[in-house]
Amino acid sequence: MDAAAASATAAAAAAANSYKQRKEDFVSGLSGGSAAEVNYVVAVGPIAFLLWSILQSRQSFFKPYTPLSFVVDFFLNVVASLLAITLYANTTPLLSGLILVPAIFLYALPPKPPGLRKKPKLPPNVPSQTTSGQLSTLSTKPFLTTYRGLMMIMTCLAILAVDFKLFPRRFAKVETWGTSLMDIGVGSFVFSAGVVGARPVLKERAEGRATPLAQRLIYSMRHSFPLLVLGVIRLLSVKGLDYAEHVTEYGVHWNFFFTLGFLPPFVALFQSALKYVPSYAALALIVAVLYQVVLESTELQPFILVGPRTDLFSKNREGICSFAGYLAIFLAGQDTGMYVLPRSITRSGSSASSQRNTLLLTMGVWTGIWAALYFLVTDYKLGAGVQVSRRLANLPYVLWIAAFNSANLLAVCVIDTVFFPGHYNAADARAEKEAYETATSPVLRAFNRNGLAIFLVANLLTGLVNMTVPTLDVGSVVTMAILVGYSAVLTVVAVGLDAWDISIKL
Q: What does the CA dihedral 298, 299, 302, 304 come to, rounded to 10 degrees?
A: -100
**Residue 14: predicted pLDDT:** 56
In contact, 410 and 44? CB cutoff 8 Å:
no
> CB of 144 within 8 A of CB of 363?
no
Per-residue pLDDT of the chain in tens (506 residues, 90 and over written 9): 465 555 555 555 555 567 778 887 787 888 889 999 999 999 999 999 999 999 999 999 999 999 999 999 999 999 999 999 999 999 999 999 999 999 999 999 888 776 555 444 444 444 434 445 667 777 789 999 999 999 999 999 999 999 999 999 999 999 999 999 999 999 999 999 999 999 988 888 877 777 888 888 888 888 898 889 989 988 888 877 777 677 888 999 999 999 999 999 999 988 888 888 889 999 999 999 999 999 999 999 999 999 999 999 999 999 999 999 999 999 999 999 999 998 877 765 677 788 888 999 999 999 999 999 999 999 988 889 999 999 999 999 999 999 999 999 999 999 999 999 877 777 778 888 888 999 999 999 999 999 989 999 999 999 899 989 999 999 999 999 999 999 999 999 999 999 999 988 76
Closest CA to 252 of 186, 324, 314, 190: 314
**How many residues are given for the chain?**
506
Q: What angle do CA 112, 150, 336 make, to 5 degrees?
A: 105
Cis ω before 64 (30° cut-off from 0) = yes
From residue 450, alpha-carbon distances to 197, 453, 474 in Å are: 15, 5, 32
pLDDT for 244: 66
Helix axes 213-240, 256-271, angle to 10 degrees: 170
Please give the model's pTM, rounded to 2 decimal places: 0.91
In SS3 terms, 27-60 reads as CCCCCCECHHHHHHHHHHHHHHHHHHHHHHHHHC
Closest CA to 318 of 251, 253, 246: 251
Round to whole Å and give the CA distance between 245 and 417. 43
